[in-house]
Amino acid sequence: MHQDRELTERRIARFLAQRLTSSIWTAPVPLRAEAWDCPGEPVSFAEAAAQDYRPFAPGSPWGKPWQTTWLRLTGSIPAAPDGFTAEAVIDLGFSTDMPGFQAEGLVYSVDGTVLKALESTNMAVPLTGPAGSEVTLYVEAAATPNVIGSFSFLPTPLGDRETAGTDPLYLFRRADAALLDRQVWNLAQDVAVLWGLMHELPMESPRRHNLLRALEQAANAVVPGDVHNSAEAARRILEPALSAPAAASAHLLHAVGHAHIDSAWLWPVRETRRKVARTFANVLALMETDPDFVFTASSAQQYAWLKEDHPQLFARVAERVAEGRFVPAGGMWVEADTNLPSGESLVRQFTFGKRFFMENFGVEPLDAWLPDSFGYSGALPQIVRSAGSRWFLTQKLSWNESDVMPHHTFLWEGIDGTRVFTHFPPVDTYNSALTGQELARAERQFRDKGATNLSLVPYGWGDGGGGPTREMLAAAHRTASLEGSPRVQLSSPRTFFEEAEADYAEPPVWSGEMYLQFHRGTYTSQARTKRGNRRSESLLREAELWAATSAVRTAAPYPYEELEEAWKTVLLGQFHDILPGSSIAWVYQDAEQAYERTEASLETIIDRAQRALAGDGNGTLVFNAAPIPLQGVDPLGASAALPAAPGRLAELDGGGWELSSEYLSLRIDPSGVMTSLRTAQGRELVLPGHPANVFQLFRDTPNQWDAWDIDAADRRSAAALLVPDSMDSGDGSLTATYSFGASRLQERISLSPDGRSVDLAVTVDWHEKQKLLKLAFPVGVLADRAASEIQFGHIQRPTHANTSWDHARFETPAHRWVHVGEDGVGISLANDSTYGYDITRIGNRDAGTGTLVRASLLRAPLFPDPGADQGEHMFRFSLRPDAAVSDAVADGYRLNLPPRKVSGAAFTQMPPVASLSPAGVLIEAVKLADDRSGDVVLRLYESLGRHTAAFLAPGFEVRGAALTDLLERPAGEDPVRDGRGYVLDFRPFEVKTLRLSR
């Protein structure tokens, strides 16, 4: 036969796009439209319904950026013959793609009941009631601007209300009462599924050509101008093609309906609250028409917003949860970043998230659901399992720039040896529409073929919400068993994981962090928000510690509600597009204000508790919240502080200065850089020919994703700040001031109170654009690995670039410290708010090799916030020579939990609420139990990476001690009592939760 495949495909494509799709709705009758523009922030339905509305015809412009316009639509319900359904079809001015990134609407009945949402791919609202009866609908239309645009990443004013402008963004297109032709709609779904499958089959496959001819015949059977009456004949033609079963060996995809709703990103938190209502309303409406549909949603925070904003809608969600069709997932408060939050913050993400789900729905999610976070800490498996969960899911590693993960289903092993069953969906998206292309990609890319044949596909519009559509469900039903296609099963996370575990008894193991080879700038962008997070975490530790100690010592009331509110604020701020710095300006304006309120509240709690503990008198107490001794004060205790031993500062002949103590000697030249740092034993730790403490400016122009990315190419463009405006000495310190571009930087160099470390206080008034500021320390140790603190321990990363995996890890996250060393000598750098580092080899063939440690201080990306990081910033560092990892741990706590002095105390000594030895096992949190029993809960962890037997001595009378999981439920055998304390065995980096009954 003559080959006309290409011509036939073009004919079918036009038939589907123009002739078939346009016939889905018939007999449209315009609804009468009226509008009211909300003058400020969104209002309730009751307030909006009471306003005066103006006529609003199709073609009318509406919606200045971030404005809400309410529409009132009235008309008659059309009579619907058999095969038809009456619907309102409402187009607010949608573009044809990217739901959730543009205008959206929430539709209410006249009595205020939420019906469903309007999106660019979901414009229909069912009309129920007798034919001819009057209907009134209200639409809360949100003029969300499309900040992402065409993914050009150009600066935009749209992310800030002050600069977004006032011109209307959208044109109201239509609001009609119409009839959905179910036969035509089903034909469109038949054709779409077979069309998508056909294009994924090999050209030599007979099935591909059979599908082409079936589709051709079906298109020819449809009569233009009489699509309804000819659609049934076309469907009969396609029925054999649709009923041909899948091969027994076909890959099985568990299709999990969900909507990844970013808790803030290219929209503020206030808009996310409305996105949640819209998406959940869509889901509930879809459940009314498809009894097989199961939907899962993570983030307890989003359910809490719904409960507060739309209690009736929340009650409907609760009903579906009880049926098992609306499935809470993840067990976390939000889908958090996992690189930057502290260990205790990640613990509370699970404790707050799980408790909300258990208290409100009686269910406990057993999966950790983080499809979109920017890399995954090696501490996470232990936290997941200790929270009572069994499984972990992510998709984001498909974004790796250079290397492909070797498994899709595996055991992920954390730094302590804990393993969690993990799945990485091979479909490579968390926004699948279940297209033929996506299903084929999942089967083709699945890397565990032969060992197991199951994977999960998350489907539904996400990021900006929206969720699954009826078209997606139609695709799922048609591909349940379809020749040439993977099999699709509507499912839930639990169903998938239980079947996958049973099917794959011995999966491979991935050990350590899952580093995302992308979005490396998120360790540095929006430095004020990162400082606010770190400061809030430290204040929460102090507030809980001293409030719990005060409750034990003085019977003072414990501020449960105040602490809960503060924690929820901090946990929300750790969402993976807030804390990493990748959101619009509005988000950071809100975040910085929230941190200020949280700081004020926590400072009040701390002051109240410490004054209750100190009593009234003439003494002075120094409170130490750190789990290490500071200034002579015991961990978690209070006493008089030892006097500091300030360093000796001397001016050198020929220029420069020497700052010294009995432990070190530091030389600084007139440019403000370190030319020598010697230990008491005389070991030089500044690499010859490479001065340390050098501020370096880099070009910062990533290929894409400005606020997210740092590109390796820009590391070649360093310009050092070596000419200070001034160098001032006094009080045992040096202060250097530099000007560059439109910015100014000041650094104060001194010694720590004990004289063992060099302390650096850096203030920057930053007004650069597309620049990266780093602080560099080339050190004279040949370290093949660098230790970086992560949650509840540290991770070792290579300093070389031998493999593509090593080369891609050119910017890495760390918490309070990094450490490099040789056998017997090391150097550490601690910080109070910095997260991004690059630690590499430095040297040449002649002078030998050392290690370059660089901290990333500031960036200035232009998208999505063109004003990112502009203004004043403060950083503190501590450089410690002759440092072991334990010394790095100590300096990290010292910078982040400085002692507090309380005057007018009645005592000179207050013992800690608990003591722990040896020094490598630390108390990370002290609090009262969440069940309000008054029991004291301690979070303990081994910090150095070694098996350790520890002894804990309570500082108060206890009835008993019990080990618990993170939710403070009994877990494992109770600790062994030994006299006045308890013996606890720790594996490397193990976290234990100990409950002490008073």
861 in Cβ contact with 868 (< 8 Å): yes
β-pairing, 871-881 vs 758-766, is antiparallel
Is 262 annotated in the active site? no
DSSP 558: P
CA–CA separation, 536 and 530 (whole Å) = 10
729 vs 874: CA distance, rounded Å: 20
Beta bridge partners of 914: 954
CA-nearest of 933, 943, 947 to 986 is 947
Structure tokens at 126: 């069912």
Token pair in block for residue 695: 């501020």
Among 191, 180, 174, which Cα is nearest to 237's?
A: 191
Alpha carbon of 603 to those of 89, 226, 544: distances in Å? 54, 73, 11
What are 672's two structure tokens? Answer: 């403000």
Radius of gyration of the chain (CA): 31
Q: Which residue matches tokens 């002078």?
A: 847
The C-alpha atoms of residue 125 and residue 290 are separated, in whole angstroms, by 16
Q: What is the DSSP string of 315-360?
A: HHHHHHHHHTSEEE-S-SSS-B-SSSS-HHHHHHHHHHHHHHHHHH
- Classify the C-alpha dihedral 535-736-760-755 as positive or negative: negative
Q: What are the angstrom distances between the C-alpha of 488 and each of 414, 457, 474, 476, 534?
A: 32, 9, 11, 6, 44
Q: Across-strand partners of 901?
A: 622
Q: Which two tokens stand for residue 599?
A: 């700081």
Instruction: Give yes or no for a contact between 659 and 676, defined as CB atoms under 8 angstroms apart.
Output: no
Token duo for residue 452: 């197991």
Rounded to 5 degrees, what are φ and ψ at 199? Answer: -75, -10
Cβ-proximal residues to 795 (8 Å cutoff; 6+ apart), any chain: 378, 415, 512, 513, 787, 788
End-to-end CA distance of the chain: 89
Peptide bond into 341 cis (omega under 30): no
Closest by CA position to 864, among listed 417, 265, 194 = 265
Which pairing describes strands 54-55 and 61-62: parallel, antiparallel, or unpaired? unpaired
408, containing H or E segment: none
Residue of 176, 181, 372, 416 marked active site: 372
What separation in angstroms does the CA of 750 have from each of 659, 678, 728, 730, 877?
Answer: 8, 15, 12, 10, 11
Number of neighbours of residue 824 by Cβ within 10 angstroms: 9
Q: In the structure encoding, which two tokens stand for residue 739, read together?
A: 């000007």
Which residue in 404, 422, 354, 346 sits closest to 377, CA to CA?
Answer: 346
Counts of helices then strands in the chain (DSSP H, E): 18, 53
Per-residue DSSP letters for 779-812? Answer: ES---SEEEEEETTEEEEEESS--SHHHHH-SSE
- Look-up of token digits 């709703």: 261
Quote the tokens at residue 78: 């059309």
Encoded tokens for 230:
């000819």
Q: In which element (H, E) is residue 535 found?
A: helix 527-554
Residue 401's alpha-carbon distances to 201, 511, 534, 698, 712, in angstroms, are: 28, 20, 29, 22, 11
Transcribe 582-593 into DSSP letters.
-S-HHHHHHHHH
Mind telling me the catalytic residues? 372
